[in-house]
Amino acid sequence: MWSTIFTAASTVLGSRMSGGGGRGPTMTAADVKSAINFNPYKMQTKDPEPAGQVGQVGGAVQYNQLLAAWDSYLNNEYLEMSKRIIT
């Protein structure tokens, strides 16, 4: 992809610079667009699927339940870590 773009840009710039005129090379968007075939790079899209119904969210967790789960997780991790250190 990039080689195609750079080849087209260098072709346009080369033709502009060979024309002379005292000014620097000018390249318009139309020059670039006509020099590059963008069709291979266009993304093919399809219609999105219709949205479905969303189910209800379960009940809220109490802060104490969250702390208990976290403490249980940490205890298990510390236990596993101590087993790896001892063995």
* Structural domains of the chain, count: 1
* Domain-embedded: residue 54: no
| 57, part of any domain | no
Q: What is the pLDDT of residues 21-78, one digit of tens each?
A: 445 567 788 887 888 888 888 877 788 788 888 777 677 778 888 888 888 888 888 8
Query: Is residue 77 domain-resident?
Result: no
The band of 19, judged by pLDDT with boundaries at 50, 70 and 90, is low
CA dihedral sign, ordered 15, 18, 21, 25: positive
Question: Is residue 22 included in any domain, yes or no?
Answer: yes
What pLDDT sits at residue 18?
58
Task: Write out the residue range of the structural domain in which residue 14 sits.
Answer: 2-41
In a domain, 48, yes or no: no
Tell whether 23 is covered by a domain: yes
pLDDT score at 21: 46
CA–CA distance, 12 with 79 (Å, rounded to integer): 69
pLDDT of residue 25: 60
